[in-house]
Chain A
Amino acid sequence: MKNGNKHPQMLEGIEIRNLVTVEFPYGLPGFEWLKRFNIAEVKDNPLFSLLYSTDEPDISMIIMKCPVAETSEELYKLVRKEIKRYFGANGNGVDIYFVVRLEKGEKKLIANYSAPIVVCRDRMVGYQLILERDLSELICENSNVR
Protein backbone atom coordinates (compact mmCIF):
# COMPACT_ATOMS: atom_id res chain seq x y z
CA MET A 1 0.00 0.00 0.00
CA LYS A 2 1.53 3.29 -1.05
CA ASN A 3 0.68 6.62 0.48
CA GLY A 4 0.93 9.96 -1.26
CA ASN A 5 2.51 12.71 0.82
CA LYS A 6 0.55 15.80 -0.27
CA HIS A 7 -2.87 16.25 1.26
CA PRO A 8 -5.60 18.69 0.31
CA GLN A 9 -6.20 21.61 2.61
CA MET A 10 -9.83 20.52 2.94
CA LEU A 11 -8.75 17.34 4.73
CA GLU A 12 -7.63 19.27 7.77
CA GLY A 13 -9.90 18.42 10.68
CA ILE A 14 -11.24 15.27 9.05
CA GLU A 15 -10.04 12.06 10.68
CA ILE A 16 -8.79 9.52 8.17
CA ARG A 17 -8.78 5.83 9.04
CA ASN A 18 -7.10 4.50 5.90
CA LEU A 19 -5.28 6.01 2.95
CA VAL A 20 -4.42 4.15 -0.22
CA THR A 21 -2.95 5.24 -3.53
CA VAL A 22 -4.60 3.98 -6.70
CA GLU A 23 -3.30 4.17 -10.27
CA PHE A 24 -5.84 5.32 -12.86
CA PRO A 25 -4.27 4.48 -16.25
CA TYR A 26 -6.74 6.73 -18.11
CA GLY A 27 -7.11 9.33 -15.37
CA LEU A 28 -10.69 10.41 -14.77
CA PRO A 29 -12.93 12.11 -17.36
CA GLY A 30 -12.09 15.80 -17.10
CA PHE A 31 -8.76 15.03 -15.42
CA GLU A 32 -7.21 12.64 -17.89
CA TRP A 33 -3.65 13.85 -17.20
CA LEU A 34 -3.81 12.81 -13.53
CA LYS A 35 -2.99 9.14 -13.14
CA ARG A 36 -2.62 8.65 -9.38
CA PHE A 37 -5.24 9.35 -6.76
CA ASN A 38 -5.42 8.78 -3.03
CA ILE A 39 -8.54 7.34 -1.48
CA ALA A 40 -8.85 8.59 2.09
CA GLU A 41 -11.46 6.70 4.10
CA VAL A 42 -13.17 8.84 6.69
CA LYS A 43 -13.09 7.62 10.29
CA ASP A 44 -16.40 6.33 11.66
CA ASN A 45 -18.03 6.58 8.25
CA PRO A 46 -17.83 3.47 6.11
CA LEU A 47 -19.81 5.12 3.33
CA PHE A 48 -17.85 8.21 2.32
CA SER A 49 -14.23 8.68 1.33
CA LEU A 50 -12.25 11.47 -0.27
CA LEU A 51 -10.59 10.95 -3.62
CA TYR A 52 -7.79 13.34 -4.49
CA SER A 53 -4.93 13.55 -6.93
CA THR A 54 -1.49 12.86 -5.50
CA ASP A 55 -0.01 15.44 -7.88
CA GLU A 56 -2.71 18.11 -7.60
CA PRO A 57 -4.38 17.55 -4.20
CA ASP A 58 -6.85 20.34 -4.85
CA ILE A 59 -8.42 18.05 -7.44
CA SER A 60 -10.46 16.27 -4.80
CA MET A 61 -13.97 14.94 -4.57
CA ILE A 62 -16.19 13.00 -2.24
CA ILE A 63 -16.85 9.41 -3.23
CA MET A 64 -19.38 7.01 -1.80
CA LYS A 65 -18.79 3.29 -1.48
CA CYS A 66 -21.44 1.35 -3.36
CA PRO A 67 -24.10 0.67 -0.72
CA VAL A 68 -25.26 -2.49 -2.49
CA ALA A 69 -23.68 -5.75 -1.32
CA GLU A 70 -20.58 -6.73 -3.25
CA THR A 71 -22.20 -10.06 -3.93
CA SER A 72 -25.29 -8.55 -5.56
CA GLU A 73 -25.85 -10.47 -8.76
CA GLU A 74 -27.92 -7.66 -10.19
CA LEU A 75 -25.18 -5.12 -9.68
CA TYR A 76 -22.56 -7.31 -11.23
CA LYS A 77 -24.75 -8.14 -14.19
CA LEU A 78 -24.64 -4.44 -14.99
CA VAL A 79 -20.96 -3.79 -14.39
CA ARG A 80 -19.38 -7.25 -14.79
CA LYS A 81 -18.65 -6.87 -18.47
CA GLU A 82 -16.86 -3.60 -17.83
CA ILE A 83 -14.98 -4.95 -14.81
CA LYS A 84 -13.94 -8.03 -16.79
CA ARG A 85 -12.70 -5.75 -19.56
CA TYR A 86 -10.26 -4.05 -17.23
CA PHE A 87 -9.41 -6.62 -14.62
CA GLY A 88 -10.08 -9.90 -16.38
CA ALA A 89 -11.95 -11.03 -13.30
CA ASN A 90 -15.52 -11.69 -12.25
CA GLY A 91 -15.75 -8.72 -9.96
CA ASN A 92 -14.35 -10.27 -6.80
CA GLY A 93 -11.92 -8.01 -5.00
CA VAL A 94 -13.22 -4.94 -6.80
CA ASP A 95 -14.52 -1.98 -4.83
CA ILE A 96 -17.18 0.19 -6.43
CA TYR A 97 -17.56 3.89 -5.63
CA PHE A 98 -19.71 6.73 -6.94
CA VAL A 99 -18.62 10.35 -7.23
CA VAL A 100 -20.74 12.60 -5.05
CA ARG A 101 -21.52 16.23 -5.77
CA LEU A 102 -22.12 18.61 -2.92
CA GLU A 103 -25.13 20.89 -3.31
CA LYS A 104 -23.80 23.76 -1.25
CA GLY A 105 -27.01 25.62 -0.50
CA GLU A 106 -29.07 22.66 0.65
CA LYS A 107 -26.28 20.49 2.11
CA LYS A 108 -27.36 17.73 -0.24
CA LEU A 109 -25.12 15.03 -1.61
CA ILE A 110 -25.93 13.84 -5.11
CA ALA A 111 -24.28 10.64 -6.35
CA ASN A 112 -23.51 10.02 -10.00
CA TYR A 113 -24.83 6.51 -10.53
CA SER A 114 -23.94 6.29 -14.20
CA ALA A 115 -20.17 6.50 -13.79
CA PRO A 116 -18.95 4.16 -11.04
CA ILE A 117 -15.30 4.14 -10.10
CA VAL A 118 -14.03 0.57 -9.85
CA VAL A 119 -10.84 -0.24 -7.93
CA CYS A 120 -9.11 -3.59 -7.94
CA ARG A 121 -7.89 -4.02 -4.35
CA ASP A 122 -5.05 -6.41 -5.18
CA ARG A 123 -3.54 -4.31 -7.96
CA MET A 124 -4.62 -0.90 -6.66
CA VAL A 125 -5.66 0.06 -10.17
CA GLY A 126 -8.85 1.95 -10.91
CA TYR A 127 -11.08 3.11 -13.75
CA GLN A 128 -14.15 5.28 -13.96
CA LEU A 129 -16.72 3.43 -16.01
CA ILE A 130 -19.24 5.20 -18.17
CA LEU A 131 -22.40 3.16 -18.28
CA GLU A 132 -25.18 3.43 -20.81
CA ARG A 133 -27.60 2.73 -17.95
CA ASP A 134 -27.87 4.62 -14.69
CA LEU A 135 -27.68 2.40 -11.58
CA SER A 136 -29.87 4.62 -9.40
CA GLU A 137 -32.91 2.33 -9.49
CA LEU A 138 -30.85 -0.67 -8.41
CA ILE A 139 -29.08 1.27 -5.65
CA CYS A 140 -32.31 2.76 -4.27
CA GLU A 141 -34.10 -0.60 -4.28
CA ASN A 142 -31.29 -2.39 -2.51
CA SER A 143 -30.11 0.12 0.09
CA ASN A 144 -31.28 3.01 2.23
CA VAL A 145 -29.37 5.50 0.07
CA ARG A 146 -31.37 7.89 -2.13
Chain B
Amino acid sequence: MLVLTRKCNETIRIGSNIKVKVLEVSGSYVKIGIEAPLEIPVYREELYQKILEENRASLISRELDGQYLKEVISRKAG
Protein backbone atom coordinates (compact mmCIF):
# COMPACT_ATOMS: atom_id res chain seq x y z
CA MET B 1 0.00 0.00 0.00
CA LEU B 2 1.27 3.45 -0.90
CA VAL B 3 1.27 5.66 2.19
CA LEU B 4 1.33 9.45 1.80
CA THR B 5 1.21 12.11 4.50
CA ARG B 6 -1.03 15.11 3.75
CA LYS B 7 -2.08 18.19 5.69
CA CYS B 8 -5.53 19.73 5.73
CA ASN B 9 -6.51 21.13 2.29
CA GLU B 10 -3.79 19.15 0.57
CA THR B 11 -4.71 16.85 -2.27
CA ILE B 12 -3.73 13.54 -3.78
CA ARG B 13 -4.27 12.91 -7.46
CA ILE B 14 -5.00 9.41 -8.71
CA GLY B 15 -4.44 9.07 -12.43
CA SER B 16 -5.33 12.14 -14.42
CA ASN B 17 -8.89 12.63 -13.29
CA ILE B 18 -9.38 11.65 -9.64
CA LYS B 19 -8.57 14.03 -6.79
CA VAL B 20 -8.79 13.23 -3.09
CA LYS B 21 -8.60 16.20 -0.74
CA VAL B 22 -8.27 16.26 3.05
CA LEU B 23 -10.94 18.76 4.11
CA GLU B 24 -10.90 18.49 7.87
CA VAL B 25 -9.20 16.54 10.61
CA SER B 26 -11.00 16.35 13.93
CA GLY B 27 -9.91 13.89 16.60
CA SER B 28 -10.01 10.45 15.03
CA TYR B 29 -12.17 11.62 12.09
CA VAL B 30 -10.93 12.77 8.71
CA LYS B 31 -13.29 14.49 6.27
CA ILE B 32 -12.31 13.73 2.70
CA GLY B 33 -13.51 15.29 -0.54
CA ILE B 34 -13.36 13.22 -3.72
CA GLU B 35 -13.56 14.49 -7.27
CA ALA B 36 -13.97 11.66 -9.72
CA PRO B 37 -15.68 11.16 -13.09
CA LEU B 38 -19.40 10.40 -12.71
CA GLU B 39 -18.99 6.88 -14.04
CA ILE B 40 -16.50 5.98 -11.28
CA PRO B 41 -18.48 4.75 -8.29
CA VAL B 42 -17.17 5.81 -4.89
CA TYR B 43 -18.36 3.95 -1.81
CA ARG B 44 -17.56 3.67 1.86
CA GLU B 45 -15.66 0.40 2.09
CA GLU B 46 -17.86 -1.05 4.83
CA LEU B 47 -21.01 -0.47 2.73
CA TYR B 48 -19.42 -2.17 -0.26
CA GLN B 49 -18.37 -5.11 1.90
CA LYS B 50 -21.88 -5.40 3.34
CA ILE B 51 -23.45 -5.60 -0.12
CA LEU B 52 -20.74 -8.01 -1.27
CA GLU B 53 -21.57 -10.33 1.62
CA GLU B 54 -25.33 -9.98 0.99
CA ASN B 55 -24.84 -10.90 -2.67
CA ARG B 56 -22.78 -13.96 -1.78
CA ALA B 57 -25.36 -15.04 0.79
CA SER B 58 -28.08 -14.65 -1.86
CA LEU B 59 -26.60 -17.18 -4.28
CA ILE B 60 -28.93 -20.02 -5.05
CA SER B 61 -27.23 -23.15 -3.84
CA ARG B 62 -26.60 -25.96 -6.34
CA GLU B 63 -27.94 -28.40 -3.73
CA LEU B 64 -31.23 -26.55 -3.50
CA ASP B 65 -34.14 -28.71 -4.50
CA GLY B 66 -35.55 -27.45 -7.82
CA GLN B 67 -39.11 -28.06 -6.71
CA TYR B 68 -38.52 -26.00 -3.59
CA LEU B 69 -37.12 -23.13 -5.63
CA LYS B 70 -40.05 -23.36 -8.02
CA GLU B 71 -42.47 -23.27 -5.11
CA VAL B 72 -40.78 -20.28 -3.50
CA ILE B 73 -40.36 -18.26 -6.66
CA SER B 74 -43.93 -18.93 -7.74
CA ARG B 75 -45.32 -17.24 -4.67
CA LYS B 76 -46.83 -13.84 -5.10
CA ALA B 77 -45.79 -10.91 -2.96
CA GLY B 78 -47.44 -10.38 0.37
* Contact surface of A with B, Cβ cutoff 8 Å: 8-10, 12-14, 26, 28-31, 42, 44-45, 47-48, 50, 58-62, 64, 67, 85-86, 99-102, 104, 107, 109, 112, 114-115, 127-128, 130, 132, 143-146
Q: Flag if B60 contacts A8 (CB, 8 Å).
A: yes
Q: Could you say which residues of chain A place their CB within 8 Å of the CB of B39?
A: 85-86
Residue in contact with B47 in the complex, picked from A9, A64, A130, CB distance below 8 Å = A130
20 interchain pairs (CB within 8 A)?
A8-B60, A10-B64, A14-B69, A47-B77, A58-B59, A58-B62, A61-B59, A61-B60, A64-B77, A86-B38, A100-B58, A101-B54, A102-B69, A112-B54, A127-B41, A128-B55, A130-B47, A130-B48, A130-B51, A144-B78
B interface bracket (residues with beta carbon within 8 Å of A): 20 to 34
B70 within 8 A of A: yes
Q: Provide the bound-state CA to CA distance between A4 and B69, in Å.
A: 21
Q: Provide the bound-state CA to CA distance between A132 and B47, in Å.
A: 8
B1 within 8 A of A: no
Q: Could you say which residues of chain A place their CB within 8 Å of the CB of B43?
A: 130
Q: Flag if B69 contacts A67 (CB, 8 Å).
A: no
List the count of A-B residue pairs having beta carbons below 8 Å apart.
101
Q: Could you say which residues of chain A place their CB within 8 Å of the CB of B38?
A: 85-86
B56 within 8 A of A: yes
Q: Please, what's the 1-or-0 string for B37-54, where 1 marks a CB less than 8 Å from any CB in chain A?
A: 011010100011011111
B28 within 8 A of A: no
Q: Could you say which residues of chain B place their CB within 8 Å of the CB of A45?
A: 73-74, 76
List 10 tightest A-B contacts by C-beta distance, closest first: A30-B52, A29-B52, A30-B55, A101-B58, A115-B51, A145-B77, A61-B58, A29-B51, A85-B38, A30-B56
Q: Flag if A67 contacts B77 (CB, 8 Å).
A: yes
Q: Could you say which residues of chain B place their CB within 8 Å of the CB of A100?
A: 58
Q: Flag if B51 contacts A12 (CB, 8 Å).
A: no
Q: Provide the bound-state CA to CA distance between A52 and B72, in Å.
A: 17
By beta carbon, the residue of chain B nearest A49 is: B73
